[in-house]
Structure 1
């Protein structure tokens, strides 16, 4: 497969669309935070679990990158402009967002070494305007809105039904609300929805032929249409 460009890139893109939401789900499951009022000391008391969770969440966003590139690659004719613009925004957003997971490791050290109020003050002061404007906001907006728009472009091209962008939007919304409220059912339910919709599309990409992936399967139809028009 390594010598077959189409096969390797197709399988890699499809596999990443399955693995990315799976890592997101596992990252939420391994997060030691308990439902209820937020206790920052939980990070210092469970460094191993926090490290595993942060790493899984980091790779969730990283693995979405080749998956998104694969989705954009498959959008032809309808939805191309939207796919190209949304894809670029999403990739930049995902790269930014993945880097934010490193803050969990600083939480482990700070809350384990300093009184809680001092550790909180340091973390608050670390949130500089440049970090918020150039890292956090592009990461969150680019990732979440971008994934939905890429799914819209993919559905508009006829590659999937409109259940795909609806599922992506619903999964992200459920996950964000559940995570903000420390609600385990919703916090886990959102990633499950994303795993189902992205996983289905990812498997369908893996099962494509190389000709479908490269667009060669569409060329005869387009040539036939052009020849028919010329004969008139």
Structure 2
């Protein structure tokens, strides 16, 4: 399989479509944060570290998943897929790097009074960090994933339930995480696991000929 480019890339993309939202879900399950409790990570460094690592790999694993989806879009939706795919990959890379902040929070709150730790964290929010890392990461990852799903559905590779599910899952997750609502914080990743997982399984079950057919037909 490893020597077969089509099989390896197809199976890798399909597996990552399942593993990425699964890591997001598990990361939220393990996350010890409680709304308003600034000491949650410092008091539970093990769980916080595992959660941050799972979330990091969720964003990392979405990169090959997105590349696989973009590869399959031909004809209608190809321009959107290419543009959204590029933005999504850059966004995911940026956003995955932000997970290291959790480890910094652990150290600061373990070694400094809470008000001093909070002050240092607030002062670290330089414009370059916000506009060069955070905003491109969030916009690229969240909006990009939705637009890639739209392009995939537009190319008739999946129904419109796919982008609708991606958008719903992301919005539910973001709202739940922001409001400290554990139920919604888990419901969002579950929705993403269902919709991305369904597409991932379809890639795993796809034949190598289907994976490469449209590329060959374009050349011909």
User: Could you tell me which residue of structure 1 aligns to residue 32 of structure 2?
Assistant: 32
Q: 1:181 to 1:216 in 2, by over 3 A?
A: closer
User: Could you tell me which residue of structure 2 aligns to residue 18 of structure 1?
Assistant: 18
Per-residue CA shift, 1:98-121, capped at 9, x if unaligned? Answer: 000000000000000000000000
Per-residue CA shift, 1:70-119, capped at 9, x if unaligned? Answer: 00000011110000000000000000000000000000000000000000
Match of 1:199 among 172, 197, 200: 197
TM-score w.r.t. structure 1 length? 0.92
Contact 1:175–1:191 (8 Å) recurs in 2: yes
Within 1, Cα distance between the matches of 2:215 and 2:51?
A: 42
Contact 2:152–2:158 (8 Å) recurs in 1: yes
Gaps of 5+ in 2: none
SS at match of 1:159: coil
Dislocated runs of 4+, deviation >2 Å: 216-220
Match of 1:183 among 178, 181, 184: 181
Per-residue CA shift, 1:120-142, capped at 9, x if unaligned? Answer: 00001111000000000000000
Within 2, Cα distance between the matches of 1:156 and 1:180?
A: 31
Greater CA radius of gyration, 1 or 2? 1
> Following TM superposition, by how much is the alpha carbon of 1:217 offset from its aligned partner in structure 2, in angstroms?
8.9
User: Could you tell me which residue of structure 2 aligns to residue 77 of structure 1?
Assistant: 75
TM-score w.r.t. structure 2 length? 0.97
> Following TM superposition, by how much is the alpha carbon of 1:38 offset from its aligned partner in structure 2, in angstroms?
1.2
Per-residue CA shift, 1:185-228, capped at 9, x if unaligned? Answer: 100000000000000000000110001101259739x97xxxxx
Q: Does 1:98 find its partner at 2:96? A: yes
Q: 1:173 to 1:216 in 2, by over 3 A?
A: closer
Gaps of 5+ in 1: 224-232
> How many residues matched?
220
Contact 1:212–1:218 (8 Å) recurs in 2: no
Mapping of residues 35-74 of structure 1, within 5 Å:
37-74=35-72
Match of 1:160 among 134, 155, 158: 158
SS at match of 1:95: helix
